[in-house]
Amino acid sequence: MGEGKTRRGIIQASGLAAAGLATGGAGAPGYPPPSPLDAGGVQEGRVAFPPWRGEADPPGEPPPAPLPPGERVGFAVIGLGRISLEQVLPAFASCRLARPTALVSGSPEKAALVARQYGIRPEAVHGYAQLERLRDDPAVQAVYIALPNAMHREYTERAAAIGKHVLTEKPMATSAEDCAAMIAACAQTDVRLMVAYRCQYEQVNRAAIRAVQSGALGRLRFLQAANLQSNGPGPQWRYSRQLAGGGALPDIGLYCLNAARYLSGEEPVEVVAQAWSPPGDARFAEVEESMAFTLRFASGFLAQAQSSYGAYQEKSCRLAGERGSLLLEDAFAYRGQRLRLFRREGDAGLEQMPQLHPRNQFALELDHMARCVRESRRPHTPGEEGLRDQQIMEAIVRSAESGRPEAIPPLPSELPVRGPAPDPA
């Protein structure tokens, strides 16, 4: 029996060597050495393990292969509000290509605390007026702009002027004019510009895109999307037209609009919309509480969307085609997405729910931007994607104000709105 075990160990080790794995390791003194199945090996610069589960189980996710910290793209996080502190900075722990190396904030006390928490050098903490000091910091290659919408243009232009690549939160800005200026500023200094459309990097949304592209749903007919939440008291910057540019539409309705475009791969030609705010509610004196709109596409595809600051939370998206449909549950949430596919198989209806290894969607978008910086690639969601959504949102607002359908201007033909698809997670 001992001889048989030894022979199997030799066969397993031979298989690993044939797969290009450098095996070895004697194990801890006084204990049997680990088997090649347990120890794994090094293959093309990363640790890899051979399958240990039976064929009936899906394979496990391979171990991550992050770059050493000093080789990752360094980001200066501009603005230390909720999105930065609750989502973006924690997400760097899951990144493989990106790391935080500087902070820009209007609160010295908060910035100093956050810098200590994330191991950021005290000399890499700056106020808003000192942003240009980043020019001389080689540890910073890119910035992440997490400021109110109306501030995105100024800080994009300032970052581009000192040669730093720009990843800005959505919506890209508060006007199409500002979006175009941001694109021009980054083009002039040859820096990458990406808009943080995190859902386009999230794995379940990408699986839905692949399902559409495979033809499994057939010709698309309808999309129904809702992004609803119940907002609290003011004052909040989201209730300021000067800072936010609008209410529920640019903040959360944008997710529905963008999903209609990236899931279908088409561009709308007309919209009809309605806005509503509760009378006498001071929070909505300047911005809309709720916006509903229907987009019409040249193919006949129709997308209906609802966004609101005054309804119980809902973040779903349903897409119907001639041969099948899909449901994205929690499509626009920070986590918890689920995909259900419905189609006919033989004489019966079939429901599928793919099981995907979850990944932090903020980390995915940060790493995509880092890869674009390292490899001089055009981001998947460049400035042109943000500009297109802003043009459509302006048409939605015009329709809500006039009560009539509003034509959406065609895309310029010289440059596609999206860059190459992100690499698999």
Catalytic residues: 170, 255
Burial 122-137 (b: 16+ CB within 10 A, else e): eebbbeeeebebbeeb
User: Cα dist. 14→9, 18, 21, 48, 370 in Å?
Assistant: 8, 6, 10, 15, 38
Residues linked to residue 335 through DSSP beta bridges, in sequence order:
none
Cβ neighbourhood burial of 16 (10 Å; 0-12, 13-18, 19+)? buried
Determine if the peptide bond prior to 424 is cis (ω within 30°): no
**Whole-angstrom distance, CA of residue 57 vs CA of residue 54:** 6
**Whole-angstrom distance, CA of residue 398 vs CA of residue 376:** 38
Instruction: For residue 26, report the phi and psi dihedrals to the nearest 5 degrees.
Output: -85, -10
CA neighbor of 383 nearest in space, from 375, 372, 374: 372
Q: Helices 254-264 & 203-213, crossing angle to 10 degrees?
A: 40
